[in-house]
Structure 1
Amino acid sequence: MDDVPHARTWMSWPSRKSVWGRQLRGVQEDIALIARTIARYEPVVLCAPDDYSVAEARSHCGADVTVIGSIPTDDLWMRDIAPVFRRDGRGGLDAVGLNFNGWGKKQVHADDAYVAGSVARLNGQRFVRADFVGEGGAIETDGDGTVMATESSLVNKNRNRRMSRDEIESAVLDAYGADRMIWVPGIKGRDITDDHIDVTSRFVRPGVVLVQLPPNDRTDEWARDAREQFAILSGETDAHGRRLEVIRVEGPDTVRSRKSDFVDSYLNFHVVNGAVITAQFGDAYKDAAARATLAAAFPGREVVQLDVDRLMAGGGGIHCSTMHEPLA
């Protein structure tokens, strides 16, 4: 759960023009901004794939960010390629790999597929593989026995071809040490993730969920998906039988980007020691409202909003590009 103190945040340096094309430099600048911002609150370890990229990342991120070249990566989405860290019951952590396969073999992942195990080895942690294929951004956990996910992402033949929903649910619960799973339908095939839940619905703490809703005049399938998630979660209970408290966050009315796959999510935030790092989109009223809602949801933490439009135009956000490692 994100309210547990962190040892560090893991990130990855984008380096492939074959993935990002002319957008690469701008995305690198956004990743560097996120890394420098997080480093004000907790250590950041950023993986880069080769000597040139290590030097490049260090020049952008500065001395407060630790850049390493011993764990090569294909892309920047550390939430999906890093291990999920669990308490091992002996005062330490183990690391679970979710068998990353490029979001259903949609993108190159020859290096990304091995990041989870490499991080565990570097940390000296026991590493185990989950019995399903998925990504960290596909599954939200409250740290108290409840997880939630979209069916579109996990109950999908591009990841778990021969598994039923019940079999996938059992495997997810085992990997996360949880007792109850809440499913929402999601949308298949419209983005590379098949609709990760961490863009729309997030746990704040056990029993409390944030859901971002679109402006009233939006009727596209993403808007319908968000409203459906809100309705389903509002009627759900957690592993302890508590009715979920669902807090609405209003999405922006306007954004600066013209990209059709731009992620206009305030909820793709990353919680760090003492702060919540989230996005702003230039909609002054909605940006301020989201900041106030997050401040109320996470009392005692500073809410920091960043302009990372280049990253968000690439289909993901701040949470997608980070993975927290809790203190043992």
Structure 2
Amino acid sequence: MVGAMNEPRRLFNRLFGEPRQPTQRFSARERGRVEADDVPHARTWMSWPASRSIWGRQLDGVQQDIALIARTVARFEPVTMCAPDEHAAVVARSLCGRQVEVISSIPTDDLWMRDTCAVFHRTPQGALSTVGLNFNGWGRKQAHSRDAAVAGAVAAREGLPFEAAAFVGEAGAIETDGDGTVMATESSLVNRNRNRGAGRDDIERAVLDAYGAERMIWTPGIKGRDITDDHIDVTSRFIRPGVVMVQVAPPDRNDVWARDSREQFDVLSRATDARGRRLQVIRIEGPGQVRSRKSTFVDSYLNFHLVNGAVITAQFGDVVKDEEARQALAGAFPDREVVQLDVDRLMAGGGGIHCSTMQQPRA
């Protein structure tokens, strides 16, 4: 048993060398598991975009969208925004308002906090701990020296134990139901740009160990067509244990992303979870029209962020489909207000509301 628990650590050492020492080591059994997004939150973590080299002329608009998300989340729970330096922090405070805490003590490269922040665990004793997923810029596609240190820095600021996972990945690539089941695309994690030399079985064991889960559901995904190699949180999300919602492209679309959405729906419709339940899959249809013409635009209603008392999601100007999505999310989360935001400038950058946020559960 001890050898089995140490296997993911040996895998990480073989692939990437000896990691930075964590503040505390604990076995999978001691660690507990990553909870579902819908547990009560202490706060949401976000990161302020400030790099012209990344965003160019789109930066001002993206900052406006991130500020809108932060102000909206702050209506329901505290928000801590990490800025790359104090100059950027001043700009962030002016746009986000007094309800949002902005700090420059955890410098960042970009805004995608879902992928750079620590992942929070609940131990069997009820305490919080954290794990870092060894962020490497989505396979070294973007400068990430500061973002790579965010997970450990967040854990240290909160005074929580931290350990590096035995694989390279991002939290946006992994959906968990908090009840023993996780799901991901192979294209994102079983990819030499993150986990060179490791097979799917090796990576699966490492993910299950990090998340404290027993069952992993894989969908094929798409390599090389976006910076994430197809994160699952754009298309398929756990609503609760045993229930998944999948956004499928309209019937008249047959591009690579449309085919991927249908494939995810088919795979998940046949899947069972860690408790032996056949998954109930709720299908919603994506928008038939959007306001943006950017090829990188993410037209996802399901890249939502759950907060205390609300679901924060996007709208795209398709009146019918926007309302259908609102009703679907209201039915899935009947005790939460559904808030839809126009964050087209953010979503033209290849990600959305869930991608730019990370929840910290209450202690």
Rounded to whole Å, the distance in 1 between the matches of 2:89 and 2:346 is: 20
Alpha-carbon distance in structure 1 between the residues aligned to 2:38 and 2:170: 21
Instruction: Give the partner amino acid of 1:180.
Output: R
Question: What's 2:92 paired with?
Answer: 57
Q: Give the equivalent residue in structure 2 for 1:42.
A: 77
Equivalence for 1:246: 281
CA shift for structure 1 position 89: 2.4
Structure 1 residue 162 displacement after superposition: 1.5
Shift of 1:88: 2.1
**Deviation digits for residues 140-167 of structure 1, max 9, x if unmatched?**
0000000000000000000000111000
Aligned counterparts of 1:274 and 1:172: Cα–Cα separation in 2: 30
**1:199-278 equivalences in 2 (<5 Å):** 199-278=234-313
Number of the residue aligned with 1:177:
212
- Report the Cα distance in structure 2 between the residues aligned to 1:158 and 1:211, rounded to whole angstroms: 27
Question: Gaps spanning 5+ residues in structure 1: where?
Answer: none
Choose which of 117, 138, 148 in structure 2 pairs with 1:82.
117
SS in 2 for 1:217: coil
Distance in 2 (alpha carbons) for counterparts of 1:162 and 1:189: 18
Partner of 2:233: 198
SS in 2 for 1:167: helix
> Which ranges of 4 or more aligned residues in structure 1 deviate by more than 4 Å?
none
**How far 1:261 moved relative to its partner?**
1.2
Q: Which residue of 1 aligns with 2:328?
A: 293
Structure 1 position 155 matched with structure 2 position 190: yes
Partner of 2:4: none
The alignment status of 1:4 with 2:39, answered yes or no, reads yes
Q: Alignment partner of 2:121: what SS?
A: strand
Query: d(CA) in 2 for partners of 1:307 and 1:3?
Result: 23
TM-superposed deviation, 1:91: 2.6
Q: Which one-letter code corresponds to 1:195 in the other structure?
A: D
Q: Which residue of 1 aligns with 2:172?
A: 137
C-alpha deviation, 1:2, in angstroms: 1.7
Structure 2 equivalent of residue 21 of structure 1: 56
How far residue 195 of structure 1 moved from its aligned partner, in angstroms, is 0.2
2:201 is aligned to: 166
CA distance in 2, matches of 1:133, 1:310: 28
Secondary structure, aligned partner of 1:204:
strand
Aligned partner of residue 320 in structure 1, secondary structure: coil
Residue 302 in structure 1 maps to residue 337 in structure 2: yes
TM-score between the two structures when normalised by the length of structure 2: 0.90
- Which one-letter code corresponds to 2:178 in the other structure? G
Residue 284 in 1 paired to residue 308 in 2? no
Compute the displacement of 1:3 (Å). 1.9
Amino acid in the other structure paired with 1:175: A
Structure 1, residues 49-101: CA drift from partner, whole Å, max 9, x if none? 11100100000000000000100000000000001100122331101000000
Deviations 1:267-311 (A, max 9, x none): 000000000000000000000000000000001100000000000
Structure 2: which 5+ runs fail to align?
A: 1-35
Q: Aligned residues: percent identity?
A: 74
Question: In structure 1, what is the Cα distance between the partners aligned to 2:40 and 2:94?
Answer: 28
Cα distance, 1:256 vs structure 2: 0.2
Residue 118 of structure 1 aligns with which residue?
153
Q: Partner of 1:295: helix, strand, or coil?
A: helix
Q: Which secondary structure state, in structure 1, belongs to the residue aligned with residue 312 of structure 2?
A: strand
Give the Cα–Cα distance (whole angstroms) in 2 for the partners of residues 21 and 218 of structure 1. Answer: 31
The one-letter amino acid of 1:252's match is: P
1:326 is aligned to 2:358: no
- Give the residue type in structure 1 aligned to 2:164: R
- Give 1:177 shift: 0.3
**Alpha-carbon displacement from aligned partner over 1:98-129 (angstroms, at most 9, x marks no partner):** 00000000000010000000000000000000
1:119 counterpart SS class: helix
Question: Any idea what the Cα deviations from partners look like across 1:195-237, whole Å, max 9, x if unmatched?
Answer: 0000000000000000001110100010000000000000000
AA partner of residue 271 (structure 1): L
SS of equivalent to 1:33: helix
> Which whole-Å deviations, capped at 9, do the CAs of 1:233-254 have from their partners, x for residues lacking one?
0000000000000000110000
Q: Secondary structure at the match of 2:71?
A: helix
CA distance in 2 between partners of 1:140 and 1:36 (Å): 25
One-letter amino acid of the counterpart of residue 327, structure 2: A
